Structure 1
Amino acid sequence: MARSSSSHAKTFLPRQQRRHLRPRRSPKKRVDATVLCPGALQNLSGAQPEHLPPGMDLPRHAGDKTLAVHAGEKLGRCWGTDTDSIVTPVVGGATHWFKNSEDLIAFKEGRRHSHEYGRYSNPTVKVLEDKISSLEKAEATLVTSSGMNAIVVTLLALVPPGSHVVTTTDCYSEARAFVRDRLGKMGIKSTFIDLDDMEKLKAVLETNDVSLFYADSPTNPFLKCLDISVVVELCHHLSGAQPEHAAAKTLAVHAGEKLGRCWGTDTDSIGTPVVGGTTHWFKNSEDLIAFKEGRRHSHEYGRYSNPTVKVLEDKISSLERAEATLVISSGMNAIVVTLLALVPPGSHVVTTTDCYSEARAFVRDRLGKMGIKSTFIDLDDMEKLKAVLETNDVSLFYADSPTNPFLKCLDISVVVELCHRRGALVCIDSTMASPINQKPLTLGANIVLHSAINSPWHQVARVQMDGYGGVISFETKSDLCGTMRFIDALEIPFIATSLGGCESLVQQPAVMSFWGQTDEEKSRNGIKDNLVRFSLGIEKFEDLRDDILQALEKI
């Protein structure tokens, strides 16, 4: 992303005044939803949904057309959208900021309704979810990035290894393939029945530990209709459960762009246009067959490929010196897809004690339930890594480098040597470096993921990185409250999660990410109350420096 800055003088207002000056963005985005029926939410999260604010619910007798217009709209304003607009605005930002530490703690303790990060929740999406819940008479709705994502999330959440799933022979073909090919590798059995064969469904339910019945109704493309009431009766009563030499800067500008025009974008625009459509058409049957046989480069459906996304993937491949790139909906999605694709049940994954906390939780909590063992090692403990590789069937080693928020650097070449000797793949999350500064594939790593001079890892970084990212972490000479005073005194950065963009962000991990955890739990992750993570934007250096210095005086 090209960044530019203006040189005119800026007056930095107090945070409460600045919040009204922030521009709103409103990009269009296609979404699909998973609707959870009453009771399902507690099964997934272990927590009851929050109640609607008083006076914000609609009459029980409201019709679907009324619900489609009004449901959720007023609620959107209670969730971080300060506006009198009749319709809730489109909120496109990924990161939400807090006025001060007190405001953040109120949010963490549930005393304030708001949002933190776009992947967790979003004001506009929350309104859409409430609207769908009202129309479906559902306890809760989860809007995800695509229809297939909704199917996969539902199956992975509700069908444990060793269980059984039943679906129909004419359900969505991609879902059928996922059930057959992917769930089968996770120790999950499946049975496919005809939509009308209730006797076979009854027999399967009586002889197997069935967790879930999944079907389309009406089906696609035959529009057959399932007798849902009959299926519900049977299931609820009988089921047992649920160019290589170019410089990086040149590649960042030109890689992939010209190719984009050959992949379905007929234009002379220098930059490949944003193609927002989900469906691509063919001139005639001959044109379609040429595409199917690989004689014509084009696209068919947005989830399979997209001209704009293809250019981005080619650009990243060129920067990383990679064979191929897959762009998906979020960093966590990239981590989950990689782990599920490359670590089979009965195998073993090794990661580090300070890798991304959500990835660590997924490895520990979700992969463990799929029959996959895991070992967590210190980033520098190569002896333990060697021992684990020698005594276990390790499929994958996964780590962040540099780590977040401590910016420790893994010696990738050493890890690659140890892992490849034992047949294990190496996956590096290089988010904090970007391909401009570090190319793990050239050091021997198999997969790369993306979403400090005095450091003991500085020497490693100097060898394998060409530069440094915009995130720094440091500890103040104070305690929890003193560090909060420092953060609250800063005038330029926003108090927010995420790694920032053009604007600077600041956060105190003990409050933002580890609030409510015991001192022992925080210590186990190396989190101290006085730790600060600062994501530097493109503001003038002297302004940021002076702001930090004046804030330090407030400790």
Structure 2
Amino acid sequence: MSSLNGFAHNPDHYGFQTNAIHSGQEPEKWSSRTVVPPIVMGTTFKQYEPGKHAGFEYGRSGNPTRNSLEECLAPLEKAKYALAFASGSAALTTMSYLLKSGDHILTVDDVYGGTNRFFRNCANRMGIETSFVDMLDLELTEKSFKSNTMMVWIETPTNPTLKLVDIKAVCDLAKKKNPEVICVVDNTFASAYFQNPLELGADIVSHSLTKYMNGHSDVVMGAIMLNDEKLYERMKYLQNAVGAVPSPFDCFLASRGLKTLAFRMQAHMQNGLKVAKSLSENPRIEKVIYPGLESHPQHELYKSQMKGFGGMISIYIKGGIDESFRFLKELKLFACAESLGGYESLVEHPAIMTHASVPKDQRAILGIDDNFVRISVGLEDAEDLIGDLNQALEKAIPNV
């Protein structure tokens, strides 16, 4: 709760969109009473006397613009606390310092390529072991726990095959094994608008704010949200000690992006569902993966665990690498680019782009094949997007 000069904004009293606009944004925070929080670029802050300051000492340790963003982020995930980082990967790296050499992480097999890369090639150098497991199989997940398992990393929907992990079931299982296990859920694909893992048993929710939460493809940033005060104090210490913090200007942009999150996610879902249905009927497509379709293997879990889904679609086109490349090159409105969740539509080839660091044998097991394409449906007119996809498919696979 923010409280200054007699004014208090209690996020528990308000809905998602009201909190997105007002939490941490109170004009009473600033001497000018500006409605839009200012960008405070100063790296250091004058103290009244040694050790006595007005809440800020040094830019890495805290910044008014960053604090404003964090106060806005927390209630959107129904959390008490939020911390912002320079990227989603920076948040992941900082969280790894909650562990020590000899600890074990249990994570979902189909995890974001950058997360996979960090666990395999960085965390291991810190003496931290990681096991990748198909968390759709709860029996296998339970068998994969070790005596030294201290963190469970869930990503759902997964990137890029859009599998849905039962958050409550896995967190309950983890806590039964060891109450001290820290359960983290990467909520990037769903956004805080469509899914709230803290309500399902997670200890920490992680976001790449770069994606849907900011939504404008102009900021690289990460964040975590949590409720446990002791865990928050540990992470707050690490945020300062590790120092992977975002700039005030980026915090300003991310805060601005949150103001339209609810409306953007509704539009992403409307467009995503229309595009997914159209692709499902296209004879040049072998398979469409979209949680909002009844054909999705975890569609029932989707209906119980999520409030909706955005514009992420994965497809298998007929053919192989040549057809995939031709398809990507022929698109006019969809930019062939990494990232996702912005207002503009993007398309990419995971095996060569976002998930190239995942070992080839693991990609094969996960189904990240040469004809596998990931689509981020933006906010353009759905009919135009469908037309663009169809014309590119016709040119890439003419003989159907």
| Length-normalised TM-score, structure 1 | 0.52
Q: Which residues of 2 match residues 95-134 of structure 1 at below 5 A? A: none
Q: Give aligned-pair identity as a percent.
A: 36
Mapped partners of 1:434, 1:464: distance in 2: 13
**Residue 82 of structure 2: aligned partner:** 325
User: 1:428, CA displacement in angstroms?
Assistant: 0.4
Cα deviation digits, residues 478-521 of structure 1 (max 9, x gap): 21111211111111011110114221111111232456988645
**Residue 256 of structure 1: aligned partner:** 24
Cα deviation digits, residues 316-372 of structure 1 (max 9, x gap): 10111112111010111111111222x222221111111122222222232223332
1:475 maps to amino acid: Y
User: 1:276, CA displacement in angstroms?
Assistant: 1.9
1:419 maps to amino acid: A
Q: 2:44 aligns with which of 271, 275, 279?
A: 279
> What is the aligned residue count?
300
CA change 1:517–1:302 in 2 (3 A) is: closer
Cα deviation digits, residues 171-214 of structure 1 (max 9, x gap): xxxxxxxxxxxxxxxxxxxxxxxxxxxxxxxxxxxxxxxxxxxx
Q: 1:268 aligns with which of 20, 26, 33?
A: 33
Q: 2:123 aligns with which of 362, 367, 370?
A: 367
**Residue 471 of structure 1: aligned partner:** 312
Mapped partners of 1:268, 1:337: distance in 2: 34
Q: Which residues of 2 match residues 230-379 of structure 1 at below 5 A? A: 243-258=11-26, 261-262=28-29, 265-282=30-47, 284-285=48-49, 289-291=51-53, 296=54, 298-341=55-98, 343-379=99-135
2:72 maps to amino acid: K
Deviates more, 1:370-379 or 1:246-255: 370-379
2:393 maps to amino acid: L
CA change 1:475–1:312 in 2 (3 A) is: same
Mapped partners of 1:307, 1:486: distance in 2: 46
**Residue 334 of structure 2: aligned partner:** 493
CA change 1:245–1:437 in 2 (3 A) is: farther
Q: Contact (CA 8 Å) 1:364, 1:374: kept in 2 or not? A: yes
User: 1:261, CA displacement in angstroms?
Assistant: 4.8
1:524 maps to amino acid: I
Provide the secondary structure at the position in 1 that maps to 2:81: coil
Cα deviation digits, residues 3-32 of structure 1 (max 9, x gap): xxxxxxxxxxxxxxxxxxxxxxxxxxxxxx
Provide the secondary structure at the position in 2 that maps to 1:469: coil
**Residue 510 of structure 1: aligned partner:** 351
Provide the secondary structure at the position in 2 that maps to 1:506: strand
Q: 1:401 aligns with which of 148, 156, 180?
A: 156
2:70 maps to amino acid: E
1:386 maps to amino acid: E
Q: Does 1:445 align with 2:234?
A: no
Q: Which structure 1 residue ranges, 5 or more long, are not aligned?
A: 1-242
User: 1:249, CA displacement in angstroms?
Assistant: 1.4
Q: Does 1:530 align with 2:371?
A: yes
User: 1:396, CA displacement in angstroms?
Assistant: 0.6
**Residue 457 of structure 1: aligned partner:** 298
Q: Does 1:381 align with 2:149?
A: no
Q: Contact (CA 8 Å) 2:113, 2:356: kept in 1 or not? A: no
**Residue 546 of structure 1: aligned partner:** 387
1:465 maps to amino acid: M
**Residue 322 of structure 2: aligned partner:** 481
Cα deviation digits, residues 424-446 of structure 1 (max 9, x gap): 12100000011011110011100
Mapped partners of 1:480, 1:517: distance in 2: 18
Mapped partners of 1:506, 1:394: distance in 2: 36
Of structures 1 and 2, the larger Rg is shown by 1
Cα deviation digits, residues 410-431 of structure 1 (max 9, x gap): 1000011111112212100000
2:385 maps to amino acid: L
Provide the secondary structure at the position in 2 that maps to 1:244: helix
**Residue 107 of structure 1: aligned partner:** none
CA change 1:371–1:517 in 2 (3 A) is: closer
1:344 maps to amino acid: K
Mapped partners of 1:518, 1:381: distance in 2: 22
Provide the secondary structure at the position in 1 that maps to 2:313: strand
Mapped partners of 1:516, 1:317: distance in 2: 32
Aligned-pair Cα RMSD in Å: 2.0
Q: Contact (CA 8 Å) 1:471, 1:533: kept in 2 or not? A: yes
Provide the secondary structure at the position in 2 that maps to 1:473: strand
1:495 maps to amino acid: C
Q: Contact (CA 8 Å) 1:261, 1:272: kept in 2 or not? A: no
**Residue 419 of structure 1: aligned partner:** 174
Mapped partners of 2:359, 2:77: distance in 1: 40
Mapped partners of 1:248, 1:378: distance in 2: 33
Q: Contact (CA 8 Å) 1:489, 1:551: kept in 2 or not? A: yes
Q: Does 1:431 align with 2:199?
A: no
2:316 maps to amino acid: E
Q: Which residues of 2 match residues 216-227 of structure 1 at below 5 A? A: none
1:470 maps to amino acid: G
Q: Contact (CA 8 Å) 2:133, 2:144: kept in 1 or not? A: no
CA change 1:464–1:527 in 2 (3 A) is: same
